[in-house]
Amino acid sequence: MFSSLQKLSSLVKNTLDVATEEAVKTGLIEIRNIVIGLQDKIFLLQKENSHLIKVKNELEAKIVKKEKWEIIAKQYARTEVAPGFIAYRPKPDTDAAGTQHYLCQHCFGKDKASILNRTGRDGGGTRYACPECGTQFTDHADKDSGGAVVVGAPTQTSSIFRGY
């Protein structure tokens, strides 16, 4: 009977060892699957974090650009440079007031400082154009002035450009 008990004990031990080994294998497989799932989630979080950092940097750059533009924009005043044509001119006592010039209204509205250039004259007046957006106008009040728009103060005429 003792030998039967030993055999039974050995058989139970072997059965438990096999059952334990199977349980351990099953447990390890489950753990491995959990780890793989976590690695996938970590990868996605890293990817999302990288995207969010990029978006944050882009927004910070836009804020800095807007703040710089606001500093520039505060130095200009909206003015009618010729009948029906609006542009921006430097305010007195600002850094921009050193040389008389005018900025395109269209570009100014898009946070760009584009100086209007004199492009020529004809019988109708002096023509001006924006090199950035192509906006053009003719100063009909400036039919006989030969000066370019560069320095000085405007004279009393219907054109703010007249007298430069």
Query: What is the distance between the alpha carbons of residues 154 and 5, in angstroms, rounded to a whole number?
Result: 120
pLDDT in tens, 39-81: 999 999 999 999 999 999 999 999 999 999 999 999 999 988 8
| Residue with the two structure tokens 């447990």 | 27
pLDDT in tens, 120-145: 887 778 888 999 999 888 887 765 54
For residue 4, the model assigns a pLDDT of 64
**DSSP letter assigned to residue 83:** T
Q: How far is CA 136 from the centre of its chain?
A: 28
Q: What kind and span of H or E run contains 43? A: helix 2-73
How sure is the predictor about 156, in pLDDT bands with cuts at 50, 70 and 90? very low
* Better-predicted residue by pLDDT, 6 or 32: 32
Handedness of CA 72, 77, 78, 79 (dihedral sign): negative
Beta strands in 83-157 (DSSP E): 85-90, 103-104, 117-122, 125-129, 136-139
Q: What kind and span of H or E run contains 105? A: helix 105-108
- Count CB atoms within 10 A of the CB of residue 140: 15
